[in-house]
Amino acid sequence: MAYKSSGGPVDLPGFFSDLVRCETRLYNALNDRLRERHGIVTSQFEFLRYLRDHPGSRVADLAAEFAAGIGAISKGADRLERQGWIVRQPNPSDRRSSLLALTDDGLRLVDAAEGTFTERLAELIGGVLGSSSASAAAQALAELRSVLERDQIGLPTG
C-alpha cells in the first residue's frame, strides 16, 4: 500500500523494511567495532552513555528511554555492575528503587568508546549520505520518534 506524501507515493512497507534493516546492520557494525576496541557492545555503550548524560537515573528511566522492559534493563544493569562500570545507590526519594551511577572505570570506558562509536558511525553514514540528506533523515526520524514517544506508542507491555 502506498502512502501519499507531498513528494508522491511512498511504499510504507518498503520504508519500514529499509529502516529496520539499516538499523540492524548499523547496530551490528557498531557492535563489531566497539567489541574489538573496548570489549563492549552497542547496547552496553548506549546504557553507559545514557547514565553519563543523565546522572541519577533509575532502571525505569532507562526502560522508558530505550522502550524496553524493566526486567531486561535491570538485568543489563546487573551485568554492568558485575563488570565494575556502574553502581546502584539508594534513592533518597523512593526506597523501592535505586539510582544508577557510573564508576570511574565506567566513565573512562564510555568516554573512550564514544570516539570509536562516532568515528564508525561517520564512516558508515557519511560515505553514503551527504550532509543535506543526513540532516533531512535525522529531522524526519526525530519528528517520528517525538510523536511515538508523546503518544506512548510501542512501549513494552510487560
Longest dimension (CA), the chain: 54
Cell (9 digits) for 126: 557519511
Predicted confidence band of residue 97 (pLDDT cuts 50, 70, 90): confident
Find, among 24, 2, 22, 25, the residue nearest to 13 by Cα: 2
pLDDT digits (tens, 9 = 90+) for 26-57: 999 999 999 999 999 999 999 999 999 999 99
| Of 13 and 6, more confident | 13
Instruction: Give the C-alpha separation, 39 to 21, whole Å.
Output: 25
Which residue segments constitute the domains of the chain, with CATH numbers given?
10-150 (1.10.10.10)
Question: What is the value of pTM for the model shown?
Answer: 0.85
Name every residue whose Cβ is closer than 8 Å to that of residue 59 and which is 6 or more positions away in sequence.
70, 73, 74, 77, 97, 98, 100
Beta pairing, strands 98-102 & 8-11: unpaired
Cell (9 digits) for 25: 546492520
Average pLDDT of the chain, as a whole number: 90
Predicted confidence band of residue 2 (pLDDT cuts 50, 70, 90): low
Name every residue whose Cβ is closer than 8 Å to that of residue 44 and which is 6 or more positions away in sequence.
34, 76, 79, 80
Helix (H, G, I), strand (E, B) or coil at 17: helix
pLDDT digits (tens, 9 = 90+) for 106-151: 999 999 999 999 999 999 988 788 778 888 888 888 998 889 888 8
Instruction: Give the C-alpha separation, 158 to 156, whole Å.
Output: 6
Strands (E), the chain: 2-5, 8-11, 86-90, 98-102
